[in-house]
């Protein structure tokens, strides 16, 4: 009996507290200003997509095509590319006419459109996929330095490249020589001289 009375009392107190809170918040003035009210709109939204800035430029998209704009939001190039990689370097992966190459932040072609796919440079090497579906590595002039000895390979890490051959992971150097034969169920990049691998 005492337990029932106690529970009813607790419920009544909770209801009273709830009513007091509702009443209090309903008469308090609501401050709609936010901490970010100090920002200034530099350019009205005109792009379908945009990315982070690198060296005062970013990639922007409109009507499924890509261009490059500056920090004021003004287009530096036309919408000339079907796709564009991340801007993390002075050489930007870009696709035109169904093939990939590299352009400068001003939109000038630096490495001709000739690859089925290409990626950002890691140091002086970039991984590309040739038109015959072979992974290769190029230098900053666009010259193919070596073909990957693997069926699929990854970006260089600490002078080593992880790759897959016949379902197993191994490692080559940055000249295309296999140094660790494919033998692992999974392999990862080198960090501080060692990679993580899975086997067994």
pLDDT of residue 2: 44
Is the model's pLDDT at 45 over the cut of 90? no
pLDDT digits (tens, 9 = 90+) for 90-144: 999 999 999 999 999 999 999 999 999 999 998 899 999 999 999 999 999 999 9
> With helix as H, strand as E and coil as C, how does the chain read?
CHHHHHHHHHHHHHHHHHHHHHHHHHHCCCCCCCCCCCCCCCCCCCCCEECCCECCEEEEEECCEEEEEECCCCECCCCCECEECCCCCCCEEEEECCEEEEECCCCCEEEEEEECEECCCECCEEEEECCCCCEEEECCCCCEEEECCCCEEEEEECCEEEEEECCEEEEEECCCCEEEEEEECEEEEEECCEEEEECC
Is the model's pLDDT at 36 over the cut of 70? no
More confidently predicted of 190 and 14: 190
Average pLDDT on 168-182 reads 96
């Amino acid at each position: 009996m005492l337990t029932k009375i106690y529970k009813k009392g607790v419920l009544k107190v909770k209801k009273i507290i709830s009513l007091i809170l509702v009443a209090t918040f309903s008469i308090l003035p609501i401050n709609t200003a936010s901490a970010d009210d100090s920002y200034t709109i530099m350019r009205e939204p005109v792009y379908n997509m945009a990315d982070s800035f690198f060296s005062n430029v970013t990639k922007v998209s409109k009507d499924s095509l890509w261009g490059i704009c500056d920090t004021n939001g003004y287009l530096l190039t036309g919408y000339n590319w079907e796709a564009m990689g991340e801007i993390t370097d002075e050489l930007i992966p870009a696709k035109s006419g169904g093939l990939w190459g590299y352009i400068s932040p001003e939109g000038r072609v630096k490495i001709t459109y000739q690859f089925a796919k290409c990626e950002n440079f890691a140091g002086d090497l970039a991984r590309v996929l040739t038109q015959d579906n072979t992974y290769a590595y190029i230098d900053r002039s666009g010259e193919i330095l070596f073909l990957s000895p693997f069926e699929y390979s990854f970006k260089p890490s600490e002078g080593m490249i992880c790759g897959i051959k016949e379902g197993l992971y191994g490692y080559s150097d940055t000249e295309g020589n296999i140094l660790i034969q494919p033998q692992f169920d999974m392999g990862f990049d080198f960090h501080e001289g060692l990679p993580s691998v899975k086997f067994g």
